[in-house]
Amino acid sequence: MPPKSVFITGCNRGIGLELVKQFLKQENGPTHIFATYRKISDELSEVAKSSPKVHLVEMEVTDYNKFPEVVRQVEAVVGSEGLNCLINNAGVLPKNRDLDSVTPEDMRQAFEVNCVAPLLFTRAMLPLLKKAADLQPGAERSVRRAAAIEMSTAVGSIAENSGGGLYAYRSSKTALNQAMKSLSVDLANTGVLVMSMHPGWVQTEMGAPNALITTETCCSEMLTLLKGLADKDHGAFLRYNNTSIPW
């Protein structure tokens, strides 16, 4: 079953925007969809105008001081039901990719946006996720109960790294996976599911126009995968089409 409420970072374009659109169309889909942006795009603005289910949240994911305010904003809407699903989707791929060009700033920016921010934002949202989980004591983990989904990438897999390069991006997502794994261990007794997701190679600004799949295919498959997540997927690293990725 889909979550009743979902919070997605980085919805201005790309995968985040398409997730919002497809959650809106989903049968028995969420009542509340929180969508973050930095400088709002016309497309996100149009989607938000089309439905009262969409709640826009202005958020730079590395603005840690703003997290309590964002949590209060969400709490004001979801109340005692808590938040069912957090998707840390915002991410960055620094343009200097090879050994000769990578800079300290590329490494720091990628690490901060792709690993530090999702970890600390998940921590900030935990009280709301736990509240939702506690409403279904004893139930199996699921996005309908409570889940934190970290948008990772297969290029963060050390085992699958045969191409080299991409220093900042690869390293930051490998670190994100490790942070997610620790979270899954620390949250073992909470009923909150945590996992890392690879969305595929997708036609977005980050993924390139000739990437393998469209945002529509990516998000439709991810929504199917999300609906089926259960206890067995806690701490897992999965592709959008529900195949496992080696660490």
**What mask, x for binding ligand NDP by CB under 6 A, covers residues 26 to 45?**
------------xx------
Sign of torsion over alpha carbons 143, 149, 154, 160:
negative
Burial call 101-140: b when 16+ CB within 10 Å, e when fewer? ebeeebbebbbbbbbbbbbbbbebbbebbbbbbeeeeeee
Q: Output 15 or 143, the one with its CB closest to ligand NDP.
A: 15
Cβ-based nearer residue to ligand NDP, 86 or 132: 86
Q: Which stretch binds ligand NDP (CB under 6 A): 27-35, 58-66, 71-79, 222-230?
A: 58-66
Asked if 90 interacts with ligand NDP (CB under 6 A), we say yes
The span from the CA of 150 to the CA of 42, in Å, is: 26
Q: Is 13 in the site for ligand NDP (CB under 6 A)?
A: yes
| Candidate list 61, 115, 147, 183; residue touching ligand NDP; CB under 6 A | 61
Nearer to ligand NDP, 184 or 196 (CB): 196
**Residues 122, 71: Cα–Cα separation, whole Å:** 11
Q: Order of strands, edge to edge, in the sheet holding 147-151?
A: 54-58, 32-37, 5-8, 85-88, 147-151, 193-198, 237-239
Q: Which is nearer to ligand NDP, 60 or 231 (CB)?
A: 60
Residue 67 binds ligand NDP (CB under 6 A): no
Backbone CA torsion sign across 112, 199, 204, 121? negative
Interacting residues with ligand NDP (CB under 6 A): 10, 12-16, 38-39, 60-62, 89-92, 113, 151, 153, 198-199, 201-202, 204-207, 211
